Structure 1
Amino acid sequence: MSKSHYIIPVFVPDLGCPHQCVFCNQKMITGQVSCPTQEEVQLTITDYLGTIPRETGIFKEVAFYGGSFTSVDPLLQKELLTPAYKALKSGAIEGIRVSTRPDSISEETLALLASYGVSIVELGVQSMDDEVLCRSGRGHTSRDVLRAAALIKSWGIDLGFQMMIGLPGDTEEKDIFTASELISMKPDLVRIYPCLVLKNTRLADLHKNGDYIPLNLEQAVVCCKRLLLMFENAGINVIRIGLQPSEQINLQGDVLAGPYHPAFRELVETAAARDQVELLLKKAGVKSAKLIEIAVPEQDISITRGHKGSNIEYFSRNHGVTDFVTVTAPELPRGTLKLISVDGREYGFTVSRKELSC
């Protein structure tokens, strides 16, 4: 989210979740076990609001994360939503979102959510391949996703999807299929998570017994890059790639195996920017050079140079580049790079992320 968009997170453990997915340990992901009380939700909202700048153009949103919100008892849903709804009605916040399972959506649940001002529902889809869903212990099918998505949109509520790559039985082809299916349902936003092996999960047992091999970091980055480009080309906002680091979610904590990196999205966008520069050089007919000069939107300087300078190292190693110069170009839209010059010869080619093959 941008600095004009502030999330007030409320973590609700999987009290109502009817299934235990092989990869899931909500205690580790959310960092808590017990469900917050109405008073605690109110205190969380009040505390966060006290830290958010009081400026015009600031969008503040309460987000109920973790578990499956609409699977819990409707009375508890109302209790949890009440403080957020009061804040919405008073103008203290501008939005409310919840996350839930596709098979926990009905006309009744959506009527409840709409009556409390919920503006976004995110569905934990994970995959649109039924074999992958079955082997992952999801307890729902792709049909449930199609039905739930249609219902949410029929209520005028914004639709979000969460998908996961590298699940048991998954392949990159199945991930591409899942992304294509999600795109066809025209969501407003998407999150992409690589599957990690966490302590005290069924997946940890499978991994220990040699029955599950997670993706390595490079495989996950390459796959997520393809998915990111697919969603961006369809005009769908990818709001997160990779789990957020926490006291539990790190290689020194509860992550046993899998493609974890604290800056995972930056790695993905670094890979995309590298492809853009390669395409710029190809357009210029350049295979090797000493100096390349590239105009870059200010927000994309870091990913163009690469996470910890990885793209600079790449072009030095593969193209002999000794001076990789990036020039801030505020006139360029995000995701667009322009080749200024190569070894003193001027060009003017531009490449947007939309031009990359996904």
Structure 2
Amino acid sequence: MMTGLPGDTDESCIETAKKIIDLAPNGVRIYPTVIVRDTVLCDMWRAGTYKEHTVEDAVRVCSKIVPLFNEAGIPIIRMGLNPTEDLSGGDALGGAYHPALGELVHSRIMLEKARGLLAGVKPGSRVVLGVNRSDVSKMIGQHRCNVHALVSEFSLRELKIHEASVKSGEISIVSLD
């Protein structure tokens, strides 16, 4: 599945994901559109007839469609293009190219789950969230972005992330004061 193609919206990508799920594939690959040098899409982009999806756009839409595939039991084989010398060396001119796109998407999914869990927590609280060992870095986020976002959004005095005996993808409040 490609996201961010000309004319795509978050809603159209979600609908495409649902149609793919209806086909019951054994697995799916999710490739956000990347503008590669010397392609028709590159020409459209340069002419201003195609507005690229940024990495942030790709993370936003993929964080909405990944749970749909997970709930349907369809494994996601790959998310984002493999880093190659050509892409890393300058052939990727725009679009949603990031070597750790999958990690960014899973981190956003954890952030959204934490937001739901923390709704109603009193400002000034100290919170310890528990996550599966495999999810600690995803919950913290790159450069602690999820921790900073949650502390700011919920006016928390402190937020810590600890390993807990929960399933991968789940979050629990270990302590709250």
User: Normalization by structure 2: what TM-score?
Assistant: 0.93
Unaligned runs of 5+ in 1: 1-162, 344-358
* Alignment of structure 1 residues 173-322 onto 2, 5 Å: 173-250=11-88, 252-282=89-119, 285-322=120-157
Over 3 Å counting, the alpha-carbon distance change for 1:220 and 1:287 in structure 2 is: farther
CA distance in 1, matches of 2:100, 2:124: 30
Shift of 1:233: 1.1
Deviation at 1:165, TM superposition (A): 0.5
Q: 1:333 aligns with which of 139, 158, 167?
A: 167
Give the structure with higher Rg (CA).
1
Q: How many residues align?
A: 177
1:200 is matched by which residue type in structure 2?
Answer: D
How many Å separate the matches in 2 of 1:246 and 1:274? Answer: 29
CA distance in 2, matches of 1:186, 1:289: 47
| Paired amino acid for 1:195 | T
Deviation, 1:164, is 0.2
Q: Distance in 2 between matches of 1:187 and 1:287?
A: 44
The answer to whether the 8 Å contact 2:123/2:157 transfers is no
CA contact (8 A) 1:289 1:342 kept: no
* 2:99 partner SS: coil
- Scaled by the length of structure 1, the TM-score of the pair is 0.48
What CA distance in whole angstroms lies between the structure 2 residues aligned with 1:312 and 1:300?
Answer: 14
8 Å contact kept, 2:58–2:96:
yes
Q: Is the 8 A contact 2:128 2:159 kept in 1?
A: yes
Compute the RMSD of aligned alpha carbons: 1.4
Residue 323 of structure 1 and its aligned partner are, at CA, apart by: 2.6
Q: Deviations over 1:6-39 (max 9, x none)?
A: xxxxxxxxxxxxxxxxxxxxxxxxxxxxxxxxxx
Of the two structures, which has the highest relative contact order with CA contacts closer than 8 Å and spacing of 6 or more?
2
**Cα-to-partner distance string for 1:206-249 (whole Å, 9 max, x where unaligned):** 11111111112222111001110111111111121111212112
Distance in 1 of aligned mates of 2:152 and 2:161: 18
- Any idea what the Cα deviations from partners look like across 1:122-157, whole Å, max 9, x if unmatched? xxxxxxxxxxxxxxxxxxxxxxxxxxxxxxxxxxxx
How far 1:169 moved relative to its partner?
2.2
Q: Check whether the contact 2:113–2:171 (CA below 8 A) recurs between aligned residues.
A: yes
Show the counterpart of 1:142.
none
Distance 1:322 1:232 in 2: 34
One-letter amino acid of the structure 2 residue matched with residue 212 of structure 1: Y
For the residue of structure 2 that corresponds to 1:294, the secondary structure is strand
**3-state SS in 1 of match to 2:76:** strand
Higher helix proportion (structure 1 or 2): 2
Percent of counterpart pairs with the same letter? 36
Equivalent position of 2:176 in the other structure: 342
Distance in structure 2 (CA, Å) of the matches to 1:277 and 1:231: 20
